[in-house]
Structures are given as structure tokens and as C-alpha cells.
Amino acid sequence: MYENDEKYMSAALLEAEKAGPEVYPNPKVGAIIVFNGEIISRGHTQEYGGDHAEVVAIKNLNKKYKNCTLFVTLEPCAHKGKTGACTDLIDNKIFKRVVIANLEINPKAGGGAKLISEKGISITEGVCSQNAKKINKRFFTFYEKKRPYVILKIASTLNGFIAEKDGQSKWITNEKSRSSSYQMRANCDAIMVGTNTIINDNPSLTSHGLGKKDPKIILIDLKNKLDNKANVFKHNPIVFSNDILSLNHSKNIEIILKKLFDMSFQSLFVEGGGKTLSRFIDTNLFDELHIYYAPKLTASGKPLYDGLKKINDTLDLHLDKIEQFDNDIKITYLKKEHVYRNN
């Protein structure tokens, strides 16, 4: 590794962060090209079907160069999909060296570093790898764990209730908190709720126009109780019922996540209700926990957690951030495995 590799890769990481959710199912990748110690071109992943980061950077070169170094946050792809293979454009007449943060984890797209090396271009791997992985934690979780990246969202009173005894929960949190949640929906591939949430609230589960897309709706309807006139059925939801589910709730979560993986959903936003959220917590099959607390109290109701955990059971959660929406507070926790060290 050269002296300034981390400096230039950090610039490539900033470029990767410019990519939005429209790149899905591709990861967010950034690339910069350096010549004689100067950054001469930049690029990041475009909307799915568009150019990849390194392609954008190469196309942005304003003249012919030799002996450049390409810094890219993920191994250039070696396969032809919606676009051509990125390795085809990495020419040894232009580049003497390629620096990569992480190797490609998608087996269909890997092998790029080997092809580039065979052109006589020097390869350096693992520069700022943890920081690069953090940007694409959903992508890496999907391929490493063979399931979507799971985000649990809870809206609660100060004393831990998510609804009245009769299921009434509109509205615990304020409008700004709800807008925050709608934006999160837009940034996820799918959203899941259980039967009681549909029956009690009849939600639309859309992003309410606060994002570029609505998530695919996933429903758990173990006893076939849902009315197909409910709002969610206007959006052609995927319904999991007793044809593949059983009374073993932990096993059901595994079955659902496996099915969603097979359908290429990289992220899942779980909004509840309490029983559904508790099943995910009990199985430890989640990656983030987002809790919105509103300054409200109720003497009784449905608790935010209704599972099997005890005080001595660790959830391996790390406090990521605290946000304020007027008088509401949002606390975000990450599983410890997603707390990447700086490098």
C-alpha cells in the first residue's frame, strides 16, 4: 500500500455516498482516477441499468493519460449484465495500478481483480475496506447471510406501549416522526407487517410520496384473516400464509427471509405490530432497531415487546444515533456486527 492510498480511497468513498437508492440492486460504488498525485476524474454508480462508477470516471477523462491509478470502493465487475463488464474499460495503456477497497461478494460479478492483473496492471486490495463495507452493509448482509438486511421500527409511548388494548395506535408519534418513517420506507425494498396491523389500522404502507419508490408490501396472514378490500391489496402484496408457514414462529421468520432472499429483496423494513416485531427480536434475525418515543402515556395497552427475552439476554445492540422530531425522540441501534471500525 502506498502512502496516500487511504487519502484517495476516502475521496472515492465520498463519491460512493453520492449514489442513491435508485442504484438497487447494485451497490453504491465510488471511483476516482489519480495522475501525478492529482485527482483528475470522479464517478459514482448511476441508476440501475446505467454506468458503474469506474465507467463514469473513465468516460469523464478529458484527454489521454498514461500511468494513472484507479481507486474504486468495490472490485470492478467482470460480467456483462445491464451494462458491459467494467474490466473491459480498464486499459493498461491508461492505468498502471488499481486500488480496491473490497472484493466483489456477488459471485456473478466477481473475478475482476484477476482479469485486471492479467493485463499487467498492479492490484492493491483492502484499502479502507471497513468504511467501504459500511456504505453497502445491506448489500454485504444480503450475500453473506443469504437474507435481506432487516430494520425493525417501533413507535411507542414513554411507558412502552405501541397501541391501546383494542389495537388503536393512530397516532402515537407526531407528523415529523411519521415523515421520517415514510422516508425510511422509500429507502427499503420491502415492508412487512402482521395481520393485526392491517385489521386495526388499515394502512397503505406506502412512502406517501416522500421517496422515489414505494416498498413492496409483505404480509403475514397465518390464519387467512385478511380482507382483500384492505388498502394494502391495492398494491399487490406478497402474502405469507399457512401454505408455507406453521405455528413455529421462529421457523416462520427463517422461511420468510429465505423466500425474500430468493426473490432478491436486499432490505426489509418491519413495522409490526408487536408480535411480529417480537418474533424478529427473539430469533435475532435483524440488523437495526429504530424506536420512536412520543411524550404520551397510557395506563394499559399492547407492549412494544411481547416475546421471550429476559433482562440477562443480550441483543448485541450499539447506540448509533438519537434524533429529535419536535417533542418525539428517535433512538437508532445497530447490531454490533454492523459497527465497522475506521481504517
Q: Show which residues are catalytic.
A: 54
Task: With CA atoms as reference, report the closest residue to 203 among 221, 187, 191.
Answer: 191
Which letter does DSSP use for residue 252 in this model?
A: H
- Cα 181 versus chain centre, distance: 15
Task: With CA atoms as reference, report the closest residue to 199 among 176, 174, 230.
Answer: 230
Which is it for the CA torsion 47, 181, 147, 260, positive or negative?
negative
Other C-beta atoms within 10 Å of 96: how many? 14
The three grid cell numbers given for residue 32, joined into one nine-digit string: 476516482
Other C-beta atoms within 10 Å of 313: how many? 11
Other C-beta atoms within 10 Å of 106: how many? 16
The three grid cell numbers given for residue 51, joined into one nine-digit string: 454506468
Question: DSSP per residue over 188-234, as a string?
Answer: SSEEEEEHHHHHHH----S-TTSSS-PPEEEEE-TT----TTSGGGG
Range 12-16 contact pairs with CB under 8 angstroms and sequence separation of 24 or more: 12/71, 12/72, 12/73, 12/101, 13/73, 13/101, 13/128, 13/131, 13/132, 13/135, 15/42, 15/43, 15/44, 15/53, 15/73, 16/44, 16/45, 16/53, 16/73, 16/132, 16/135
Cα→Cα distances 309→126, 158, 169, 314, 317, Å: 38, 20, 24, 9, 14
Under a CB-based contact definition with an 8 Å cutoff, are residues 173 and 292 in contact? yes
Tell me the CA end-to-end span of the chain in Å, nearest whole number: 13
